[in-house]
Structure formats: structure tokens, C-alpha cells
Structure 1
Amino acid sequence: MTGQRMAGRVSGVAVAVVLTVATGAVARADDGFESLPARQIADRSRDALLDARSLRLHSRGDLGKGGPAMTVDLSLDRDGNCAGRVDLGDDQGTVEIVKRGDAVWLKPNADFWENQVPVGGTTFEAVLAGRYMKGDASDSRLRPVVEACDLDTFRALVSDNADSSSGTLTKKPVTRVEDTRTVPVTRTVHDRELTVYVDTGGRHYPVRLTVHGAGADAAVDFSGFDEPVPASTPSPEDTVDVSALLGRSPAPS
């Protein structure tokens, strides 16, 4: 196994979520917000999302990429701090992620080592013994994870896709997402219906984004806007240096 392979596998899920969000035309409080046209509602939601200093995103479902349905639950901010968990689906493995400052911690479970690292995975699992592997944010082997954990990367992708004119925006009747009153705005692109549910109050953040059709059936929930990313980090006793771990040459398992 290599650091690049693990980092790429973990960050690939998060990046897929980001790109799905960016593809949808996604969002300050004014009287009559609910009566605004779909385009203005979507634009305000996008702007609110781009202004956030931190957020939590929870994605689940199948993005139509031919793999199992995955789950991503990450809190991230503009300072590059991040905490959360990625589940690859179908018992393919989970990875816990913590990034604070210049340090990154990853803890794959037994299913990850067995399915994602068939050669040598059990050896790595035995060496870690339930601990995190720790590395520096500057380590090129962990760069994909570092980038995926940075809210500025997420914001750049959303901003770069903000002027997409594919499909027609349609406003749907007001509905509730959990306890939040929202206005759904829908767009169909390449046989996929993307719907962003925009909070009718406050700063009009996007609350949920769904993707249906052409093999995709997924949802992304947004919450925790401008709330601090959890600051706790694994203790030294609960970590193994990534260079020491990857420097080993495990026998085939």
C-alpha cells in the first residue's frame, strides 16, 4: 500500500461530493424571499455558502459512478481544519479523518485494510492496532486528503461552477427539511435532477442538495455554518507516524 493510494481513496469520495454540489446552481434575509424567482433564490443560497467560514457536510447515496453507495460526514473550515468520517459502503471500509494545523491523522478500520489493501493490509492493521496514522500536511502522500479537508478548496469549486447555465431552474412549493422551512430549486442536467433546498430564513443557506436519475441517487446535507470544527486530536499514544508505517515492507496477506 502507498500513502497516495489511501489518500486518493479517502479524498476521492469527498471530492465527488464537492463536484456534485458545485454542479448544482447553489445560496441575506429579505422580506418576500419565498416569492423571488428561482434564479435569485439559487444565487443567494450560493453566495451564503461561499461566505461561510466553516460548515459540516453529510453526503450519502450513489453518485452513479459504478461503485457502492458511500457516506461522507466532514466538518471543515477555511483554516484547513477538518474532522469526520468516510464510509466507502458495502462493508468496504471506513476511515476517520482529523486535520488540525499542519498535522493529519487517519484511522482506517479492518474492512478498509482487507478490501482496499489486499496485499499487506493485515500487516498494516496489526501495526496500527486501532491507532491513527499521523503525518504532516506538507507530506505529498497526504495532499489529496489535505486539499479535501480545506473549505477554500470546496469554495473554489463552487465558485468556478457558479455561472453554469445548463438546464432550467424551477422553483417548487415550500417544504420542510427536518425542522427548517425551505424553498426547493430544481435543475435537470444530463438526465439528472438536482434540487437545492434553501432556508427561507436567516442567511438563506442551502440545507440539502439531492441528485436523482441516470444512476445517481444521493443527498448532501449542510449544517454547522460558522461553527468551530471539533478541536480534539488523537493523543501521541494513539498515533503511529505515517513514514514509519509506510516504510515497512509487509509480506503479502
Structure 2
Amino acid sequence: MLSKRLASTAAICLLLAVGTAACGGDKDSAASGPKLDTDKLSAQEIEKQAKDALAGASAVKIAGTMAGEDGKTTIDLSLDTKGQCTGSMGMPGMGSFEIISDGKATYLKPDKEFWKAFGGPKGEQAAELFKGRYLTGFENDPQMKSLTTVCNLAELSKKITEDDGTKSKAEKGSAGTVNGAKTFSLKVTNDDGEQSTIHIATEGRFYPVRIEKASGKDGGQLDFTDYDKPVAIKVPAADNVIDFAKFKQQLQTA
């Protein structure tokens, strides 16, 4: 089911680092486009409309928090199907980091807390030695390679929308408004009895614009905005970047 895939994939993406619209896109074009017939369509058919819309999006911004046993995980990330992205992520007990990708190279700028946690015994030294600098060149590193997947909307959409074999139950909710967009909600209960609410745009393209998970260990909310809006990338200056291999070498000799 879409809600489970969205919520779990977002949480997984954040963990991968150690491990989707002004909602609905442009309001003027949405207002003149098709409307979602929530009276005639079943909950499953409405959900499929949202999955198909997300799979066809060229760009999106995902922002929100997901709660877990260790605390809250945060994400504020704009990404597209070209592998470009810009934004930030944060994890409980691990600090946060800025991330930039131009589709070819990925740049990571951790905060002090992240450096200290990531650097282990030499974390304090790493935080001071590499303060304010970006890491790059870890696309082929087994531990860091997954970061490039986070920035690829095509790959992320595939993980979110593909059938995962679960038998979650979707039920119709009600009409509403999310971030200025007209929406219709679906109530979804997964195999474990955990409930989520998907808010789907009802005009123009039927994008999912908000996911809320009120029960279970992964409670939280994710907003999906700026659909199909070009992602503006500003690659950091070369003198403010350090290669990941050199970083590891300098950390060992620090």
C-alpha cells in the first residue's frame, strides 16, 4: 500500500546515511485540469491514481518528521529524476547534515553532532578538523553509496510505489484542504494494524500531498510539495570540499 511504502521509505532513506508540492504543483494549471471523482472511484482506485501520479513526477520536495523509538528523524529535501537534490536530514543521536547532488557527485556537510557520532573515538577531532566543509567522492564506498539513491526521485518513486506484497486495507476518508490544495483522504491500515492517512490532490494531477501516521512506532507527518518544480543546485566551492578517501586518511592520522 502507498502510505506504508511512503512512510517506511522516507525513514529508511534517512537511516541509509549512516544507511513528494505547493501541493499538487502549480495551482492555476491544477484548477483547470481534471478532477478526481471520489464518489465513483473505490479507495483502491484512488490510491492507484496517486501512485501513478507520483511515478510520473519529475521533481518534488519532501519535508517532515518521523518518530521512532530513539526520537524524531527529520527530512527537508528537494529532489528530481535526474539525481539532483538539495536539502537537509537529521537523525536522533546522530545530528544532521546538508546534502547536495548535481546528478553526478554528492556533497555532504555534517553538523558538529553528526561528526562526533560518525567519527567514533576521533569524532571530536573530526568535528573541528572538517568544520563547515563538504564531503564528496563516496559514491563507490559501500557504507556511503546509498546516499546517491536518496537523491534520485526515479529510484525513490519505484521503491514507494511498487507492490511489496502486503495486504493493507484502504478506506475512503473525506474531502479537505492541505497547504492550499483541495484533497481527499484515504485511511490505510497495514498488516500490523498501524494506521496512516494519505491526503491526495483532487485537481490537476492527483499527487499525494501529505502522509500522516498516527499509530505505530513510525508516527509522524511528511508533506510533498513543489511537484515538477526545477531543483536549483549550487555546488560548493572546490576549496570547501574534501574527498571522502582523503577524509578517512586524515581522520586516521589525526
**TM-score above 0.5:** yes
Q: How does 1:190-229 map to 2 (within 5 A)?
A: 190-229=192-231
Greater displacement, 113-122 / 45-54: 113-122
Q: Which residue of 2 aligns with 1:37?
A: 42
Q: Which residue of 2 aligns with 1:7?
A: none
Q: Find 2:235's aligned residue among 233, 236, 239.
A: 233
Q: Is the 8 A contact 1:60 1:218 kept in 2?
A: yes
Task: Give the 3 Å change call, closer, same or farther, for CA 107–225 of structure 1 in structure 2.
Answer: same
1:51-82 C-alpha deviation (Å, 9 max, x unpaired): 011111113021x4x22111011111111111
Task: Give the 3 Å change call, closer, same or farther, for CA 159–217 of structure 1 in structure 2.
Answer: closer
Q: Which residue of 2 aligns with 1:24?
A: none
Task: Give the 3 Å change call, closer, same or farther, for CA 12–242 of structure 1 in structure 2.
Answer: farther
Query: CA offset at residue 140 of structure 1?
Result: 4.2
Task: Please state if 1:14 is matched with 2:18.
Answer: no
Q: Is the 8 A contact 2:14 2:73 kept in 1?
A: no
Task: Give the 3 Å change call, closer, same or farther, for CA 50–33 of structure 1 in structure 2.
Answer: same
Q: Find 1:50's aligned residue among 42, 49, 55.
A: 55
Q: Which residue of 1 aligns with 2:6?
A: none
Q: Is the 8 A contact 2:100 2:233 kept in 1?
A: no
3-state SS of 2:136 partner: strand
Q: Find 1:85's aligned residue among 88, 107, 111.
A: 88
Task: Please state if 1:188 is matched with 2:193.
Answer: no
Q: Which residue of 2 aligns with 1:171?
A: 172
Matched AA of 1:76: L
**What count of residue pairs does the alignment treat as equivalent?**
229
Q: Is the 8 A contact 1:102 1:137 kept in 2?
A: no
Q: Is the 8 A contact 2:59 2:231 kept in 1?
A: yes
3-state SS of 2:242 partner: strand
Unaligned residue ranges in structure 2 (runs of 5+): 1-9, 21-29
Task: Please state if 1:128 is matched with 2:124.
Answer: no
Unaligned residue ranges in structure 1 (runs of 5+): 1-10, 22-27
3-state SS of 1:74 partner: strand
Matched AA of 2:183: T
Q: CA RMSD in A?
A: 2.6
Matched AA of 1:143: K
Percent identity for Structure 1 against Structure 2: 24
